[in-house]
Structure 1
Amino acid sequence: MSLFRRTLILAGIGLPASALLDLAVPGSAFAAAADPRMAVRALGPADAKVVVQEWFSLTCTHCARFSQTAFLEVKSKLIDTGRIRYEYHDFPLDQVALTAAMVSRALPPERYEPFVQALFASQDQWAFSQSNDPQVELAKMAALAGMSHDVFQQTVADQGLRQAILDEQNAGQAKYKIDSTPSFIFGKTLFSGEMEYDTFLQKVNAAAA
């Protein structure tokens, strides 16, 4: 999904990109110290030779398709075997995706990845239904993940968490020149767009060389 389809949620963030790069570098100690919910969410060993970042939006259909296809092999063959460390980075392209990202990060870290995968698997039902309110459907999904109704309401109204996600998104965009989702960073190399497992593996091998 193109960056140009974003709504104006990123307008008026306040700090210039140069300042955001200093204060909110993805996965930085600053972000985690400011709000533990902003600590990096990752799979795989911390000392893996290759770190792969995925920048994604929970309402991106391309991200959802990657999650349900190539990522299954990525997880079993590259993450679970310790070849790579896989980091998730939010790049919400609309208000619904931003709310979903907030809820995802408010869950305990061990529930984050299963919840994200569940959201991608049911994207049509909670994000794009013509008859249902996305926030109501998201609340149902959060309840299944163990989040109480009160915590859900507090989370979606949390302007500090909202701003923290937007700040990191803006910093990542400035640093890596991301303009679409999904975007992947293999070590230091950016690749934007959906890909098959074989292409993903080639990028990992090149980063490890």
Structure 2
Amino acid sequence: MRAERPSRLAQMSRRAAITGAALAAMALSACGGNKGGSAEGDMALGAADGAKVTVVEYASVTCGHCALWQQNTWPAFKAKYVDTNKVRYVFRELPTPPVDVATAGFLVARCAGDAKYFQVVHQLLATQQEMVTGSPRDWLLRTAQAAGMNEQQFADCVSDRDAVAALEKRIQQAQAQGVTGTPAFFVNEQEVITPGSSEGPSLADLSTAIDAELAK
């Protein structure tokens, strides 16, 4: 990150230290896993809670494989199952390296509000290369501003200890369920994997699992 604006960057550095210390023992493989069901803090699209089929994705905004799944599979999956309310799609946050940046990204998504949560997450995944080639802070700030936040709101958001504690609790819940990396997908608590894939399950494999559950 750049040296200017030391106060803002110092805030992010303090937050990085906090999350780094709290999450060090939970570090996930950078980009497989184990449960569906419902959990506190779930963000969902599609059918209502209690739907016949629930698809859970564990992902990170800094995971390159997650970004590829969103780019290559999400549009067709969304059109086939989410927009038609055939499934309840649940997204769960699992920060991967750089953990402090992923954590800040998820904090921004939460601060943007429920109505803009997925907009922020999807924008971060779609523009992930900007984190790699430029300043992670600038990448996060641009995303926050696109969601209607100003720079002070962004700084306050990524230094919110209560929000970090809530995220840490969600990570602990995921690890207690056996999830070890991202992306990981579960259809009614059964993991779906496409052998050899580096970007999560294919639409064909997800469809096989989902359609079998819908047919029951």
Compute the TM-score of the two structures, normalised by the length of structure 2: 0.76
Q: 1:61 to 1:8 in 2, by over 3 A?
A: farther
CA apart distance, 1:27: 3.4
Q: Secondary structure of 1:184's partner?
A: strand
Contact preservation (8 Å) 2:192, 2:206:
no
CA apart distance, 1:184: 1.1
Runs of 4+, deviation exceeding 4 Å: none
Task: Tell me the equivalent position of 2:138.
Answer: 136
Q: 1:26 to 1:156 in 2, by over 3 A?
A: farther
Q: Secondary structure of 1:128's partner?
A: helix
What's the CA shift string for 1:160-199, capped at 9, x where partnerless? Answer: 1112111111111112x11110011211212356122111
Distance (whole Å) between structure 2 residues aligned to residue 179 and residue 8 of structure 1 = 18
Task: Tell me the equivalent position of 1:20.
Answer: none
Q: Does 1:120 align with 2:133?
A: no
Contact preservation (8 Å) 1:26, 1:89:
no
Task: Tell me the equivalent position of 2:83.
Answer: 80
CA apart distance, 1:206: 3.3
Task: Tell me the equivalent position of 2:39.
Answer: 27
Distance (whole Å) between structure 2 residues aligned to residue 80 and residue 167 of structure 1 = 30
Q: 1:167 to 1:194 in 2, by over 3 A?
A: same
Distance (whole Å) between structure 2 residues aligned to residue 49 and residue 183 of structure 1 = 20
Distance (whole Å) between structure 2 residues aligned to residue 98 and residue 191 of structure 1 = 26
2:209 to 193, 203, 207: 203
Name structure 2 gaps, 5 residues minimum.
Answer: 1-19, 27-36, 194-198
Distance (whole Å) between structure 1 residues aligned to residue 132 and residue 149 of structure 2 = 22
Compute the TM-score of the two structures, normalised by the length of structure 1: 0.78
What's the CA shift string for 1:40-71, capped at 9, x where partnerless? Answer: 21101214310111110110011000011111
1:97 to 102, 109, 113: 102
Aligned runs of 1:40-189 on 2, under 5 Å? 40-46=42-48, 47-93=50-96, 94-125=99-130, 127-129=131-133, 132-175=134-177, 177-189=178-190
Task: Tell me the equivalent position of 2:23.
Answer: 10
Q: 1:124 to 1:12 in 2, by over 3 A?
A: closer
Q: Secondary structure of 2:149's partner?
A: coil
Q: Which amino acid aligns with 1:114?
A: Q
Name structure 1 gaps, 5 residues minimum.
Answer: 1-6, 14-24, 29-38
Distance (whole Å) between structure 1 residues aligned to residue 86 and residue 38 of structure 2 = 21
Contact preservation (8 Å) 1:26, 1:168:
no
Contact preservation (8 Å) 2:192, 2:205:
no
